[in-house]
Structure 1
Amino acid sequence: MDLKYNRILLKLSGEALMGNAQYGIDAETVKFIASEIKPIYDLGVKIGIVIGGGNIFRGVSPAAKGMDRVTADHMGMLATVINCLSVQNALEMNGIETRVQSAIEMRQIAEPYIRRRAMRHLEKGRVVIFAGGTGNPYFTTDTTATLRASEINADVVLKATKVDGVYTADPKKDASASKYTEINYIDVLTKGLKVMDATAISMCMDNQIPLIVFDMFGKDNLMKIVKGEPIGTLVK
């Protein structure tokens, strides 16, 4: 099959794993995400995944108020590892071979992140799940996603959300908000649109990697995107 995107970096927020819960990991939601990844994996798409940790701990949340920022961010990085192991388990239950690579060494449960090894895993048809953020405080998992996408030569960054794209305002708060089908990086930055943080957007722009913001919970959306169908909002 002729695909538009053959190598992708999928960015999942920690909140996406919660389902309708207030915190933690919802097993059925993770199973659904795995079931959406399976068909594109079977087509031979090379897949890297970065997952946030906001469902467990967010470094700048009220829960971390008064805490040293570096310590809080380290806790957030550890939360991403928990999420990555959860998604790894769900993928492997769907017959998908995976590797978790962590930017913070924890050899008993994940490989250390080594770019050449990650590239080799992708070539062998394994899904590589990147844990531990960048390994440094003050950087978000959005920035991790664009960094890893650049490193693995991804064709596109797919930011999975609970909304179907980027809007002029929050559609849940403003009924007049309209959706962008396509927008450029500079406009995202100048308009202050909450797509990804400025560092992540700048990295996509510098490395000319398109970004698609889409609804992860729309059935077959991932498949439609890799085939080139206009799903969500394209940032380029």
Structure 2
Amino acid sequence: MELEEIRREYTKGGLRRKDLSSDPVDQFNIWLQQAVDAKLTDPTAMTVATVDASGQPFQRIVLLKHVDRQGFVFYTNLGSRKAQQIEENAKISLHFPWHPLERQVHITGVAEKLTTFENMKYFASRPKESQLAAIASKQSSRISARGILEGKYLELKQKFEKGEIPVPSFWGGFRVRPESIEFWQGGEHRLHDRFLFSKSSDTWNIDRLAP
């Protein structure tokens, strides 16, 4: 396999400034809806990048669960590696790779914990199996075998077979308040279109970036 030879042309069409919304969250919602309508696999999947105390970057994929002008929301185990790193350095990066549409969105911002009410509201909306899994898994901790995890899940399933499952204290969400949002659209001959929205006070500045 010759990796240098793997390439393709981007032919879905360009992106012009006149076609952009003046608000990047509105523009994001337009692209997200188009990704959903195109039946992309996991259109809400995003890479979340954080940095540990030594400056080592880490990335993982999580699902976007809400977006509005306040920010981008995801949920996790608050004892997980990502949550611990956010506790030390709240600066964060998100990336949406919508390859079939030849699009990417890159977001930088600051993460903050959601309120207890917001956590409870979303946790109650989750399928019971997902609620149990959130309690069973001590995310990012080392386990000797998958059977331990499955055993804990079955134990909890029996315990809460008929009762309501409480929101675990170690589970919750983060809202990423964006400071920059970049929209990337593939173009022919590698002449891609990139527009960067940068926040200044309560306004957004828009710049075209060279590909």
- Specify if TM > 0.5: no
Higher helix proportion: 1
- Give the TM-score category using the shorter length: under 0.3
TM-score of the aligned structures, taking structure 2 as reference length: 0.24
**Of the two, which has the highest radius of gyration?**
2
Higher strand proportion: 2
